[in-house]
Amino acid sequence: MKNTIKKITLSTTLLLIATISFAQCSICTKTASQIGEEAGKGFNAGILYLAAMPFGVMGYIAFRWWKSENQK
């Protein structure tokens, strides 16, 4: 039962992250719309690129914590 709940929680979290990953703040949206379609797509890619490192670090820390808890 616990394993199923963990899988459902993980799936829901991943779906929510994927859904909101193309969101921008209002200033970024205005800037991207003013510079054109192609540049706006590059702007979005840059935002996702910059966000990847903090999420990667948090994921690594969470994985190590989870692994150490399971070894006990």
Distance CA 34, CA 57 (A): 33
- Domain-wise residue ranges, the chain: 23-72
This prediction's pTM: 0.48
3-state secondary structure labels for all residues of 17-34? HHHHCCCCCHHHHHHHHH
3-state secondary structure labels for all residues of 23-64? CCCHHHHHHHHHHCHHHHHHHHHHHHHHHHHHHHHHHHHHHH
pLDDT in tens, the chain (72 residues): 677 788 788 877 877 776 555 656 777 777 777 887 787 778 877 877 888 888 889 989 999 998 888 887
